[in-house]
Amino acid sequence: MTDQELSVYIKIHNQMREQIKQGLWKEGQKIPSERNLADRYNVSRMTARAAINSLVADGILERRVGSGTYVSVSKIKEKLNGLASFTETVEKLGKQPSSKLVAYYTKNANSSEVDKLQLQAGEKVLVLERVRYADQVPICYEQASIPNRIADQLSKENITSHLYQSLEEEGILQVAYADQTISASWANEAVADMLEINRGDAILSLRQVTYSQEGQAFEYVRSKYVGDRYEMVIRSSK
């Protein structure tokens, strides 16, 4: 690409970004084809393609196989240098959080729950399964296990609505930190149905153990996030 072509593609990039910012192209809206953009800006298709590619790389546009290029839909963004509930994270972004409770039951802890929650064999856990939404759009499917001796001290409403806040307000414990394990995976049929995506679509799997200030594990969560609706920001330091 010549210096002149480079200058033109940057100009197109900046103009398109500003138009998207101003709302001339809405979130989820399909943009014109490379040929149409090339004609509109009186440039080659290669230059138009370079501008589009740069906007895709910036996360402003997204390509959909077999469909075209669209303005990216805002993702729920979570910074991993702090600890906040899903509700708090969504509210800070100016969106409306909500949940659909799929299951709520007590059972004997399995070996993974015994290990993660530092339980004795035979102890019971409360399990809640739910789909979490932001502005009515499904973001994740979540399965959380809480030691029954802790869950028994709270109402169902407190557990399903504001667990961390309720634990602290009731003087049960102070939420301190969490260990999180993140991996990429694919949606099975059950998860795909709940998240309104296709089976085999990319999802982000997160396993989290949350601890009190005393180092007591009180929550073990397994979450499945829709890959194109959620992203995590990790702050690293030397």
Q: Which residues contact 180 (CB under 8 A, 6 or more apart)?
A: 80, 206, 207, 208
Hey, CA dihedral for 18, 21, 27, 29, is it positive or negative? negative
Q: What is the mean pLDDT of residues 99-121?
A: 91
pLDDT for 205:
87
One-letter identity of residue 179:
D
Each residue's pLDDT tens digit, 168-193: 999 999 999 999 888 888 888 889 99
- Looking at residue 176, what DSSP letter applies? E
Distance CA(99)–CA(143), nearest Å, equals 12
Domain 76-233 belongs to what architecture?
Answer: 3-Layer(aba) Sandwich (3.40)
pLDDT for 150:
97
pLDDT for 84:
67
Distance CA(201)–CA(141), nearest Å, equals 14
pLDDT for 7:
75
Where do the structural domains in the chain lie, given as residue ranges?
3-71, 76-233
Distance CA(195)–CA(134), nearest Å, equals 12
Domain 3-71 belongs to what architecture?
Answer: Orthogonal Bundle (1.10)
Please check whether residue 157 is in contact with residue 177, taking contact to mean a CB–CB distance below 8 angstroms: no
pLDDT for 82:
59
